[in-house]
Structures are given as structure tokens and as C-alpha cells.
């Protein structure tokens, strides 16, 4: 019964987010992260395709940030892998949350959609097409490649 209830929460969330897209700009998607099967037989090795245990159910991309939302019924619980994934997402500067039941899911969405937009980089960091931009782990644009802890963007 728990899986059916979670599936219903997923469907309701998709419907709500689609309605919200009429008024706000963001992208969302459900992450299907389970083992594929055909009549009880696995037809591929999911690990070879990059499947990661514990990945959240939904991803919302909004204002330059990724939000990962795990959906649980009121009485649901996180697995060790799900907890580890959400901790890692937050450590990397994004947002990973779990919603237990519909009311909690709505509270989490209100928090996500109330966050302010990230500021744009300073004008002197706007690059010509094909230029390399270096960004530190806090999202600060750098003039040159740092010694460690960077991201690379081709602009």
C-alpha cells in the first residue's frame, strides 16, 4: 500500500508542477532510477549505465540551482543510500530535501519557490562564445584556473 500511495503523491506533484510552469520559469523531471526488467528478467545492468542508489525522485532546476526532492508517504522512511545522496547534494551547494506526505511536500515546494534568483556574473566575466570560464565551489567567477576546487564552463 505504501508504494501505491507514493505513486499517487508523485502523480499529484507532477500535476501541480505542470500548473506552476504556466506562471513561473523552471524545469522539472522525475528521475527513474530503478532496475529495468521484462517479465522478471533484468535486461540490462543498471550500474553500467550510471544508475546510482538513493537518487531522489524529482529534480527541479530553477534560478541556476538544482533541487532534488525525495517523496515519501506520511509513514515512509529514507534508506541509507537516499540519506547519503541528499547529504551529498547539499554538500555540493544544491538543495536536497525529503517530503513526508502531501502537506510536507507542499511546504518544501514553497521553500524552493520562495528562494531568490542567483545574481548574474559581473559584466567583465561575460565571455565570448567558446571562451572558458572558471568557477569556484561557491559559484564565484574567477579570472584564471584555480589550483583546486573548480568547475569549468564553456560559454
Residue span of the structural domain in which 103 resides: 2-114
Query: Both 91 and 44 in a single domain?
Result: yes
- Ranges of H-type helices in the chain: 2-20, 80-91, 101-114
> Which residue stretches of 21-145 are H helix?
80-91, 101-114
Q: pLDDT for 119-155, tens place per residue?
A: 444 433 444 444 455 555 555 556 666 665 544 444 3
Shared-domain flag, residues 76 and 31: yes
- Do residues 108 and 66 share a domain? yes
User: What confidence score (pLDDT) does residue 115 get?
Assistant: 80
Contact 97, 68 (CB under 8 A): yes
Q: What is the pLDDT of residues 73-116, one digit of tens each?
A: 998 988 999 999 999 999 999 999 999 999 999 999 999 998 87
Residues 96 and 142 in one domain: no
Q: Are 86 and 10 contained in the same domain?
A: yes
28: domain CATH number is 3.40.1350.10
Sign of CA dihedral 96, 27, 121, 141: positive
**Bigger pLDDT: 126 vs 70:** 70
Within this chain, do residues 12 and 76 fall inside the same structural domain, yes or no?
yes
Amino acid at each position: 500500500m505504501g508504494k501505491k500511495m507514493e505513486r499517487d503523491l508523485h502523480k499529484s506533484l507532477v500535476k501541480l508542477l505542470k500548473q506552476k510552469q504556466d506562471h513561473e520559469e523552471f524545469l522539472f523531471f522525475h528521475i527513474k532510477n530503478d532496475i529495468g526488467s521484462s517479465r522478471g528478467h533484468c535486461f540490462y545492468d543498471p550500474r553500467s549505465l550510471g544508475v546510482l542508489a538513493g537518487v531522489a525522485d524529482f529534480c527541479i532546476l530553477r534560478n541556476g540551482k538544482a533541487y532534488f526532492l525525495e517523496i515519501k508517504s506520511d509513514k515512509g522512511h529514507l534508506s541509507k543510500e537516499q540519506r547519503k545522496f541528499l547529504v551529498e547534494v547539499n554538500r555540493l551547494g544544491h538543495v536536497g530535501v525529503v517530503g513526508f506526505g502531501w502537506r510536507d511536500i507542499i511546504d518544501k515546494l514553497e521553500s524552493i519557490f520562495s528562494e531568490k534568483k542567483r545574481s548574474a556574473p559581473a559584466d567583465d566575466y561575460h565571455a565570448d562564445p567558446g571562451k572558458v570560464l572558471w568557477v569556484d565551489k561557491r559559484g564565484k567567477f574567477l579570472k584564471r584556473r584555480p589550483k583546486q576546487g573548480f568547475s569549468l564552463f564553456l560559454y
